Structure 1
Amino acid sequence: MKVFVTGATGFIGSSIVDELLRRSHVVVGFARSETSADNLRAKGAQIHRGSIDDPASVLAALASVDGAIHTAFNHDFSTYMQNCADDGALLDAMAETLGGTGKPLIATSSTAVVPPGQIATEDQAASPAIPRGASERFLRFSETGVRTGVIRLPPSVHGKGDTAFVPAAIAAARRTGVSTYVGDGANRWPAVHRNDAARLFCDALERGEPDQRFNAVQDEGVAFRAIAEAIGRGLEAPVRSIPVDEAENQFGWLGRFVMADVLASSRLTRERLGWKPVENDLLADLELSSYFDPSVKALST
């Protein structure tokens, strides 16, 4: 297949590109800059220039490909609500453009679109009250002849090159000199390795049925206290509990996430696609020195 990939040089998108090429697909990588284009050419991918800020540049690529994987997202958390709405609108436009073709359109969402207090499963629809759920609205276009599918990613997609939530917690611990968790730290995060997630995106592209959600989950729930303890070992820093009212001072923008208890299951994903994670789990990856390289820049607002 000839596959268009947005976010093709990102943390997850770059692994998807590698996996698609390994499976002998032709990749058309969406590149915002010439540097990104050069990186994709070096892998053997074709290039389509544009930006998600210019939806027309995304839609222009769809006529000449056999399917698309959409991983690009604006990760500026100061405009998170608008970013989610924009992503939903872009996916609607992509699905409308592909109407009647039978081509696959695989997009990215979050396991946290299911309200907390339950184990998130693939058959649960996204809550309309949760902003990221806008990225799943396009699933309805399966009725117009698009093979729609969503990969729900957990809070931690980990591996070498990670700059997201766990690195942000590491940066907070380095800044304050202490690795912390809130309360008893029993709240849990699901997690998956980036390479296992990439394989799932490709499996869904190749074999997924229309209008399906897939949970890219290896660890159903890792206690945040265990994450904080692993960070403490990696930084040789003390580990302690803090009360809820100190979370924002300790973690900044991450404070809203560190208290989340968002269990998720991938049982149906494994049954439907035969997907099986094979990489390190989160706590094993946190034993790697690369996570504690001070030159790594984590996401910020």
Structure 2
Amino acid sequence: MTDENDEWQPATAEDLVADAVALGVPKASLRVITDWTEYGLLGAPAFRKSTRHGSDARLYSADQRRLFTEMLKARQRSPLARVPHHTLIRVVLHIWLTDDTVVSDAQARRGWRTWARATRSTAAKRSENARQIVDQFAHPDAPYHQRRKAQLLIEQGEKHRSADWDRLYSALTEVCSPWPAAPGSRIERSIGTPILPFGVREAIAMWMLDHKVSRLLAAEAVPEATLVQARAEHRVNWQSYEAQREQFQIQATKPEMFEKPSDLEEQIKQHVAGFVPVVGHVLGLDQPTFAEARALGQP
């Protein structure tokens, strides 16, 4: 792994397998290295040619070798029997979002594909997230059947990465204003802060945008240059958000919306997810999407 000066050295795929074996990783093989490279957990090795005929074994950079080792160690520390690739990829993407030297843009593009294609959560987690969203918007008088209807629509939309936006808008406005009313006359409650109110339409617009961008990322249809531009914007936005997070909590209707997780994995998850709408903005998808959401429920 390192030489006598404790510096990381470039490595072939065979070297990485040996590193994994040394760490006690079962089933370490060249296939594992190939898979990790395809998923974006590792960057592509560099081509080498020192002879006239044939080529030398490709080399992974010293930074990639260290990244591989650290991720294996993190996986071993996990209480889970199996740590899925989409969980590990968040670490790679977090590194790319914060540092320009370890993870290449090409590797990040493959990593975003892996992240976007993955099943993001279990059925239990989708149910809990949907319940929390409904609770945030629901009036205290909203009956169970209205809450349940909205929750199920959110769960289905997240499961299939596609939603019936008109039905979802109708269901959420019903829990906001659960009394009989003429069409279009229901009250839409907002959450968030006085300077950043967040209503049903805004929530749906953000879900729409997330779905659109995720589909593009899953198809590797976002150019590297666009990802780099979005990363620069995301860094500024995230730094500003972190600086104001505590103040947002004080002003918010639901302080937990802006609470910083104590768990590092959840912090990374938030940071990575926050990049998606920025990509939508750079691609010019945000304004048309919000216009689409504003048209929901209109006669």
Give the TM-score of the pair, scaled to structure 2.
Answer: 0.21
Larger Rg: 2
- Structure with the bigger RCO (C-alpha within 8 Å, sep 6+) is 1
Name the TM-score, length of structure 1 as normaliser: 0.21
More strand by share: 1
